[in-house]
Structure formats: C-alpha cells, structure tokens
Amino acid sequence: MEHLTEIRESVRAICNAYGEQYWRELDANQAYPTEFVREITESGFLGCLIPEVYGGAGLGLVEACAILEEISCSGGHPGAAHAQMYTMGSVLRHGSAMQKDKYLSAIAKGELRLQSFGVTEPSAGTDTTSITTTARLVGDRYIVNGQKVWISRVQHSDIMLLLARTRSIDERNSKTDGLSCFIVDLMGAEERGLTIQPIDAMINHHSCELFFDDFEIPVENLLGQEHKGFSVIMDAMNAERILIGAECIGDARYFINKATAYASERIVFNRPIGQNQGVSFPIASVYAQTEAAALMVDKAATLFDAGKPCAAEANMAKMLAAAASWQAGDTCLQTFGGFGISRDYHIERKLRETRLYQIAPISTNLILSYLSEHVLGMPRSF
C-alpha cells in the first residue's frame, strides 16, 4: 500500500540520522535513546495508534508494525519505545472517556510517556493468573503491595499500566477472575511507596524490579472493570506479540542485508565467499523463512485492526518471526566469521537484542502449548 511505503521511507530517514554507532554507544553505557524517542514522537510515529480526535495519527497495528520493523532493520533498537504502541490497545479499548481525555492527547504530543507495562512477577513468570501483587480498595484509593520483575522503561516513563490482584486466588470465580488493571502515575512514585531497582542484563532494555509498599492509586485510574483486568491486558499482549514479531522481521532483514552484502564483497581464495553455496544457501534459506514469517505478522495485525480474534495468529507471528531473526543473526555471524564477534560490526549487539524474543514476551514452549490445546484441541499440558 502506498501509505505504508511513505511511512517506511519517513521512518528510514529518521533512523539514518542515528547510525549504528549511536546505538552501540547507548548499549555500552546502558543509556536511553532520549533524542531518538523524542524525534519519532514529534514525527507522530509513536502516537500512530491514537485516534485523530486526540491528536494522534489514527492508524492501525499494520502501520505500527511497519514503523517498528524499519527501526529494527536500520540497526536501531525499537525496544526503547515499543511499549507506547502495544499498551495503546488496552487504553483505547477499555479506557473511560475521562482517561482518554486526560492521557491520550498528552501522549500524542509527547508530554507524557506510556512506556511501561507492569505484569510479570518473580514467583509467577508467564503464569499471569498466579500473580500475587494485591490492590485493596480503601475508600477512593487502591492500596498496592507486592513485587514485579523485568518491568522495562519505568525510569523513562511517566505512566505505567499495572496488573494486580483485587480478589484473592481462593475467592476468585475462575482462573482469570480477580485481576484488575490500573493506570499508574509514576511522577514522584518513589516518594509514595514504589522502590525501583534496575537489573543489570545482557541487553540495553532498561528493565527493573519493582517493590510496592502501600502504594496508592486513585479509584478513577482503574482501567476497565474491576476483577476483569485479564481481558484488558490481553488486548495489549496480543498487540505486543504482533509488534515484537514485526521487530524480529526487521532484525532478520537487517542480518540478511548485512550478510548478503558481505558475502558479495568479501574475497577469499580469489573469489567472493558468496559464490560458495555453503555461504549463500543458508542466507537464502533464512530469507525464505523470514518472508513466510512476515506474512503471518501481517495477517495477525490485519485481524487485530479488524477487531477479530487473533490470539493464535499473534502467538504464531511472534514465534515464527523470532525464530527467523535468531537464525538470520546466527547465519550473519557465521558469514562474517571472526569479524562477526567484533563490536565494530554491530552484529553481536543485534544478536543479543533479538535473542530476547525466544523467551519474551512469551516463551516458544508456552506458544506451542497454547496452539496444542486451544487451536488443535489436544489435552491441556499443565
């Protein structure tokens, strides 16, 4: 589609001003790409899903996928900003008129950042329905106590979506009952009972561990219905998996482009190494794998935009794209040989970044479990 081509070209033009050395230095210093995020916000790309009435572009997930894919393909790291897109699914579909008026225009203008999603806990992992962080209603406030882990960009966000338990596990009516979603104001939160501890990790993802100690959230910040928060976050999670899939397609294409160019120009034994089928065939194979995965990402995004069920497609898009990007990265590193492990060539950084998506935001085994039970109708495995 013509407008997608224009979007890709515009994003590419911004990314060209932030070369791979920019991202390498950020990675080395565990720093946040403030300038880059500011520019893509001011250009309207981070607010692409926000309706025009609130100052956004009013576009869909298909367009959002194109934006994140191009950032990845340029050698950048869209993980620094992607949460602002996938959390929009929950706010747009479940937010009250007051919440939308209060937050969406400010987010679209870049006055507020919604870059964090507080779900995962140390004792629950991807078993979301077993989280134990509690939110107890007292008067016009919810009092939150508990712990979260691997919560990214908290220190670079103004507001966060938080999932907490408002009904105990013993009292819940179903496995997904009793969870509620909240919009959390992070301004001054560390003076109000939130402790933030950064996690030293292998990638520059700005992840933290959070501790809530009688942290208060106004009742009007409840997102969606009380006790029905699981369905609220699922809209964000499906969007997240599709968008991460798009990022992985961008990573795969980055690796393929880099490997193809190097194989064509690198001369060994008086001929380009790409003339050897042992070098060219793996690149061609992962290219085919990537193009197939890209079709699933597009299908999932199209279903999401149409408001149709897309859980299976979202999971498959993420799984297939993550597998393609990891295989493409490994193939690229093998093509470059010893030079591939040098930080000067940027491959090892991108390989670390794309490796994350084998286990997050959901592991491959859990996706296979979901498909086995909910799509193929086989017995539940756990």
Contacts of 21 (CB under 8 A, 6+ apart): none
Residues 300 and 308: their CA atoms lie apart, in Å, by 10
C-alpha closest to that of 8 among 64, 82, 76, 60: 64
Which residue has 């929009």 as its token pair? 88
Contact 48, 78 (CB under 8 A): no
Dist. CA 12–CA 71, nearest whole Å: 7
Catalytic residue among 240, 247, 313, 353: 240
Name, in order, each residue with C-beta under 8 angstroms of 24's C-beta and a sequence gap of 6 or more. Answer: 343, 346, 349
Pairing state between β 159-165 and 114-118: parallel
Q: Alpha helix locations (H) across the chain?
A: 2-16, 20-29, 34-42, 61-73, 83-86, 88-94, 97-109, 229-265, 277-305, 311-336, 347-355, 364-370
CA dist list (Å): 252 to 14, 26, 81, 297, 336: 20, 21, 19, 13, 15
Neighbours of 293 (CB within 10 A): 24
> What one-character-per-residue DSSP string does 257-318 give?
HHHHHHHHH-EETTEEGGGSHHHHHHHHHHHHHHHHHHHHHHHHHHHHHTT---HHHHHHHH
Query: Is 240 a known active-site residue?
Result: yes
**Residues identified as active-site:** 240
